[in-house]
Structure 1
């Protein structure tokens, strides 16, 4: 074994270090190709701002078809100039330098300022035997500036937003959604297009991507100049995000699990009786019965004797139902038998390992459950056929695509030798969530355009935004430290180009909490987590052990109940803002979760802030991530006490370059300073940027209960501002045909005038005449618990432009 290892090392060294004389450079459309250092290298512009760098061993005939990239390269004017060994390619936005001797590629702006560079002799192809396929492990090293910050890499459960001096082993698994995309405070992004397990490393010597399997080295450099520009390039390259239905932005209640149709119907009934807004209820696993019948996509559990009646009952209460489906099947299911016939099942241990519901699992009684080959088009057809027959045809509204890593227990290296329709499992493992969510999305789209697809999924890969997938952070534990990590984790995920992300409010596992719903220590954590969840793309309460329905945690008058009710109502008041932000995500490559550098990059203080973020363009959100009223000792929770005469405080950094309004009081503060905010249990520090225009919707029990015919429009003066109110039919794909309307609001701060522009577009059921109650925010009209002011100027609007002076 030692001799073999030395031989492989020698081959690797000679392969990428020995200089060769061949330095031929040939111009091709949009770029060049060259051979040097025993490599064929192709550099091509996909657009003026995006460049693909593609390297293969010399003489390779391998042509890659990307699973993530869907963009067809544009015809781009590219000039070429060679001086000595250096070839310079230039577009209208970017220039690339190629060293024909070393093979190094570097990028700079048009003024010649360095943006990003490979390391000299930094490409490595190391021979690798991938289950009999003689291929390579692939590594590329880069050099970063000492002071630039790096973000992204999907969901890595990190404490720090900035990923400098980090090392991540990127292979899909529970809690980790590996997306090999980074972006820099210098205004560029990089997509490492490889689906095998990959290690990202950054240290003082270099930054690198190192993938276990690769016939080629393939990455895309994207220059956006700023973070929004980078995300626009990412979406242009690997897909845009569709519009989600309006009802997805309301409140969702879930539990592990509702054990009968009676239970789930009672929950919806109770919310309606209490007058607590609710848009969605989620049925978790085992509605199919025993584990050997895993994911049958039928209500085979006798506790669900009349599923159609259950679904109709929930819809009769004006709620939607989402249901858990998996990427694996029990041996007693029809799907398993059909997939087995086409050899589209993976033979490794997955959840549930045992056929008996017990903990720990009884491995003497294996379940026989196996994941399916999501890379196989025929397997995806089988998957949808049964999903359509068993659930979609009954009226299920949305899909909880659980275990889309998929779950992989008792991991053995030989498991990755398993063949898939696209190569070994090792070579494509990280793309599994992309492919399984793709199958559901594309099949439902082909079935009907009357209902928008909505997926809640546990894992993700580059490009998944195009499949209407909202990723959640997995089965996290209920601790303050884990809660705090969710903030930078979600921001890095969003910075990877995928805009929809959320978390189990209150954590999935109870951790060290006992006493279930009566534990006051847990109530404080849950309340703070709920406040944070109000400012995520999906507000969803879920967990195991604690029954988190609002009435199980307390009653009217209890702070845990009253605070949750308050923030659910706030969520519904913000529906016009949320839906319009969703349109910006779809139409302009926007983002809900915005790391502070996205809007305030010139303020270097924000580059390493991991516990604050912008929610859309208006709100600065600072979740309270430390307990105030209950305390722990040696990681064990002491008897809780409450002292509500004492109010905790939170440090808040207000970024430079704008004035900030305290959302609750209307008080203003200059940016560029740290302030201290009082945070009683019902308050999350929340600030609004001067120049923001925010519409507030009516008080409702569900998202479409009332028309938006009398919205309150709150203007935060101190800077010019703009907002586009977006409206459509709420739940179909007619918007893709231009069937929607937008109304633009412009605030001119110097002369204090608001202009409401001509309405653009139309759709069936559109309001032709409406009123807006315009409020200029100050300390006299800070937000109340009804989230509507008693003052304001009521203006009528019939779709024609109007200007009002204040």
Structure 2
């Protein structure tokens, strides 16, 4: 296809983007609207049906004929556009039909039961027929409150498997949420609060019918149960956390080390030793008890001045380093007389005689005083958000049955929305359905083991089935099993690297560990090889941030989380359900983290590639899917496959703080194999105004094959406060042949070695053509066109052969005994990337010479005076390289 034809195709592709303009005013908190549109309601005596979407019907039975219009803990927005449906009454039977469902109910027959209520599918696959009591055998699971003391899915104390409960989707094609026992919200316009239902006998059910259109079910749930809120942009950076009694000086030294080694960092987590813990004891025989019989010592709100003599100055210093700070809270023990805020708090609550002020999160008076007197002053010092750790007792004592975890998550999140213009963010345990509205999840104290790492991809992806899309794990694991011998209580560097790699391709990247001297996870404490792999992993995370942030917006809009199972996209492929260690990360990345130790320098991973073509990022090759493959991965490699033809928006390598990354610079990586249309999202980064139209999208159309590429970056649509007027775009073409001509907006660009603006260059180490477009107004279109020299034989998979050969040569040098020099071909083969970088126009010749050298390297070394074991190992390495072709 000629470039002129490509331009015509791209120009005809649909452009969809937000054009909303917004003022810099503070965004309104999303309202909870419990009452549905009257036209959606069908009421007949003791029953009421509300058609919320074609695939979602609310079903209520009340003995008095009085129904609930208040928002519930789970369902907060029933005021949806009314879908088309019909209502018919015949022979005493009510029939409701939507485009997807057919519901029948025998009027006057009482409570919903298998004899009087039936729902069947219309034009859905698989077809289904449901009655109350029908077994749901294909439910795909949800998530759990915590993985405390679990090694993988197995608890180390009792051997029980972790129960993930039920998710919203099922292979059966339907799911029912029983909302009968959930609590309701009142109509207080200042701060809606919990209240009980009045009817204990009533039924309140929500039927989801969707076949295998899983995304439709999740989207319908998001409409009525609330959207997944976007975390602030900085939250997608690296979080440092360790359970350790850091001092002010130690914390400053730690940050300076990150800066010294050039490791990106955005969030500092300070665990509970920020406050005094004098009463804390891990032995139950010595634990003091508060007025409710709960352990004292974990709760605290007064700085430990021996560690932090002047906390305000430390927090100011952290902020000057552009770091966000969160503090750990265990709130269940209330406010004892030892707290600095106690006198004012006790007076406000009417407590006298020095008695502790008991904790009760469902008491609005307590909570308001808690924030006004104790927590808000700490936030004013520079605490950006709170880490809600263990909350001790499961339920409120004021409102029996109300989960403390669920309610505290609501209280803290909405208080942050009420208090200021920063985007609300908390970090907490999962409390149940509806808690997806209050990110981010803290999964708890996982046991350090390969089993735990292997389980976390499945655990994280399955949580998307309840829209809980932002799990934050203790990357590297939290604790050793109790029976771990002292000699083995140290970090396995390989396990830690692999866990970090999973963390980089998960919603939140946060390291953490228990208070044990041997659990030191600072990257610079490891060997050079491990340090390089850890730093590369963190840097890769920062480069991917625009892609991740765009996926976060899509999760907000659609209900489909960033990290999700393969069966969302391939519901009719049995393998999509069977490969629990793989997942989609956004729309275009398939990840299968390494979760087993290496053998002979690499780990062999079995990967199911779904139908279609995929770009293997480690090999630089296009692979046909619809099959299972086994590939080897070195310590610094991640099994990552990208949809053929995809365009991934990334940051320049210079970005070290995500709160600074929206400066108008963007790198677009255009992968081989076809055409695509994608969008890049941006907003102010830390404002609630993204909900109300303050954001922008840039649409990108591309076509790339072996002979040519065309990329169109459309004018940006939308506005937000602080948006850069200009943008500087760099287009990167991985696994590219040598360009014959590069043209941008009709101007032919020259080739350069330094990648200056208005030119293109070729990186021989990564086989990437790079086009640097000068900054220009973002409301102008950019069209980049590239024609390539004929793709040389052997370029497919060349990246893998280059990396493996360089590694083999480096290994051989370490084993080589002087004074005999290395064979010339060995030295040249080990630096093929640099040779290509010097003369990319000779790419075809250099590939032929390289492959010819590689084919004879083992024989040349075998003829040398190297030790027999060195010859044998080098031959093994080279055999793996030559067989990869």
Q: Normalized against structure 2, the TM-score is what?
A: 0.68
Structure 1 portions without partners, runs of 5+: 1-27, 123-140, 169-173, 198-212, 346-367, 409-414, 630-644
- 8 Å CA contact 2:139–2:166 kept in 1: the answer is no
Deviation of 1:518 (Å): 8.5
Deviation of 1:766 (Å): 2.9
Match of residue 529, structure 2, among 551, 559, 565 = 559
- Distance of aligned partners of 1:64 and 1:71 in 2 relative to their CA distance in 1, 3 Å threshold: closer
Partners of 1:792 and 1:518 lie apart in 2 by 46
* Structure 2 counterpart SS, 1:792: strand
* 1:565-604 → structure 2 map (5 Å cutoff): 565-604=535-574
- Distance of aligned partners of 1:268 and 1:785 in 2 relative to their CA distance in 1, 3 Å threshold: farther
Deviation of 1:111 (Å): 3.4
Instruction: Tell me how many residue pairs correspond in the alignment.
Output: 670
Deviation of 1:754 (Å): 2.1
Partners of 2:469 and 2:764 lie apart in 1 by 29
- Distance of aligned partners of 1:45 and 1:312 in 2 relative to their CA distance in 1, 3 Å threshold: same
Structure 2 portions without partners, runs of 5+: 1-37, 184-198, 280-295, 739-761, 787-885
Pairing 1:110–2:122 present: yes
Deviation of 1:712 (Å): 2.2
- Distance of aligned partners of 1:437 and 1:590 in 2 relative to their CA distance in 1, 3 Å threshold: same
Partners of 2:228 and 2:518 lie apart in 1 by 33
- 8 Å CA contact 1:54–1:216 kept in 2: the answer is yes
Report what 1:614 is aligned to. 584
* Structure 1 counterpart SS, 2:440: strand
Q: Comparing 784-793 with 664-673, which one deviates more in the overlay? A: 784-793
Provide, for residues 92-111 of structure 1, a one-character-per-residue CA deviation record: whole Å limited to 9, x for no partner. 44332335565543433433
- 8 Å CA contact 1:541–1:548 kept in 2: the answer is no
Pairing 1:713–2:684 present: no
- Distance of aligned partners of 1:551 and 1:327 in 2 relative to their CA distance in 1, 3 Å threshold: closer
Partners of 2:497 and 2:561 lie apart in 1 by 25
Partners of 1:788 and 1:390 lie apart in 2 by 51
Match of residue 464, structure 1, among 396, 417, 435 = 435
Match of residue 402, structure 2, among 428, 433, 440 = 428
Deviation of 1:259 (Å): 3.3
Q: Comparing 791-800 with 545-554, which one deviates more in the overlay? A: 545-554
Report what 1:318 is aligned to. 322
Pairing 1:71–2:77 present: yes
- 8 Å CA contact 1:260–1:304 kept in 2: the answer is yes
Match of residue 152, structure 1, among 142, 152, 165 = 142
Q: How large is the Cα RMSD of the aligned pairs? A: 3.9
Provide, for residues 572-611 of structure 1, a one-character-per-residue CA deviation record: whole Å limited to 9, x for no partner. 1111111222222223434111100111223222122211
Partners of 2:341 and 2:718 lie apart in 1 by 45
Higher strand share: 1
* Structure 2 counterpart SS, 1:506: coil
Deviation of 1:622 (Å): 0.7
Provide, for residues 407-460 of structure 1, a one-character-per-residue CA deviation record: whole Å limited to 9, x for no partner. 24xxxxxx97x742xx42xx323xx333212212222222211x2222111223
- 8 Å CA contact 1:298–1:391 kept in 2: the answer is no
Pairing 1:98–2:110 present: no
* Structure 1 counterpart SS, 2:557: helix
Pairing 1:303–2:307 present: yes
- Distance of aligned partners of 1:791 and 1:517 in 2 relative to their CA distance in 1, 3 Å threshold: farther
Report what 2:601 is aligned to. 646
Larger radius of gyration: 2
Partners of 2:721 and 2:450 lie apart in 1 by 47
- 8 Å CA contact 1:175–1:475 kept in 2: the answer is no
Match of residue 718, structure 2, among 758, 761, 765 = 761
Report what 1:800 is aligned to. 780
Pairing 1:30–2:40 present: yes
- Distance of aligned partners of 1:71 and 1:110 in 2 relative to their CA distance in 1, 3 Å threshold: same
Report what 1:220 is aligned to. 206
Report what 2:747 is aligned to. none
Report what 1:722 is aligned to. 677
Provide, for residues 723-744 of structure 1, a one-character-per-residue CA deviation record: whole Å limited to 9, x for no partner. 2112222222333443332211
Partners of 2:703 and 2:769 lie apart in 1 by 21
Report what 2:283 is aligned to. none
Report what 2:426 is aligned to. 455
- 8 Å CA contact 1:156–1:175 kept in 2: the answer is no
Partners of 2:162 and 2:143 lie apart in 1 by 10
Report what 1:192 is aligned to. 178
Deviation of 1:251 (Å): 0.5
Pairing 1:665–2:619 present: yes
* Structure 2 counterpart SS, 1:565: helix
Provide, for residues 258-312 of structure 1, a one-character-per-residue CA deviation record: whole Å limited to 9, x for no partner. 3322222221121111211111110001322134565332314432111011111
Partners of 1:334 and 1:55 lie apart in 2 by 52
Provide, for residues 645-696 of structure 1, a one-character-per-residue CA deviation record: whole Å limited to 9, x for no partner. 532211111012x211111222111111111111222222111112321022
Provide, for residues 321-367 of structure 1, a one-character-per-residue CA deviation record: whole Å limited to 9, x for no partner. 1111233135334778998999999xxxxxxxxxxxxxxxxxxxxxx
- Distance of aligned partners of 1:223 and 1:775 in 2 relative to their CA distance in 1, 3 Å threshold: farther
* 1:508-519 → structure 2 map (5 Å cutoff): 508-511=478-481, 519=490
- 8 Å CA contact 1:257–1:284 kept in 2: the answer is yes
Pairing 1:485–2:448 present: no
Report what 1:45 is aligned to. 51
Partners of 2:475 and 2:303 lie apart in 1 by 27
* Structure 2 counterpart SS, 1:310: helix
Report what 1:674 is aligned to. 628
Report what 1:142 is aligned to. 134
Partners of 2:50 and 2:451 lie apart in 1 by 45
Partners of 1:793 and 1:70 lie apart in 2 by 48
Pairing 1:740–2:672 present: no
* 1:350-429 → structure 2 map (5 Å cutoff): 372-403=359-390, 406-408=391-393, 419-420=397-398, 423-424=399-400, 427-429=401-403
Partners of 2:764 and 2:430 lie apart in 1 by 37
Q: Normalized against structure 1, the TM-score is what?
A: 0.75
- 8 Å CA contact 1:335–1:382 kept in 2: the answer is no
- 8 Å CA contact 1:473–1:503 kept in 2: the answer is yes
* Structure 2 counterpart SS, 1:688: strand
Partners of 1:68 and 1:84 lie apart in 2 by 36
- 8 Å CA contact 2:141–2:465 kept in 1: the answer is yes
- Distance of aligned partners of 1:709 and 1:46 in 2 relative to their CA distance in 1, 3 Å threshold: closer
- 8 Å CA contact 2:416–2:425 kept in 1: the answer is no
Higher helix share: 2
- Distance of aligned partners of 1:648 and 1:589 in 2 relative to their CA distance in 1, 3 Å threshold: closer
Match of residue 735, structure 2, among 773, 778, 784 = 778
Deviation of 1:506 (Å): 1.2
- 8 Å CA contact 2:228–2:467 kept in 1: the answer is no
- 8 Å CA contact 2:523–2:534 kept in 1: the answer is no
Deviation of 1:717 (Å): 3.2
- 8 Å CA contact 1:176–1:459 kept in 2: the answer is no
- 8 Å CA contact 1:775–1:791 kept in 2: the answer is yes
Match of residue 217, structure 2, among 230, 243, 247 = 230
Pairing 1:697–2:671 present: no
- Distance of aligned partners of 1:218 and 1:691 in 2 relative to their CA distance in 1, 3 Å threshold: farther
Partners of 1:344 and 1:498 lie apart in 2 by 40
* Structure 1 counterpart SS, 2:615: strand
- 8 Å CA contact 2:121–2:129 kept in 1: the answer is no
- Distance of aligned partners of 1:387 and 1:496 in 2 relative to their CA distance in 1, 3 Å threshold: farther
Partners of 1:386 and 1:516 lie apart in 2 by 48
Partners of 1:265 and 1:565 lie apart in 2 by 20
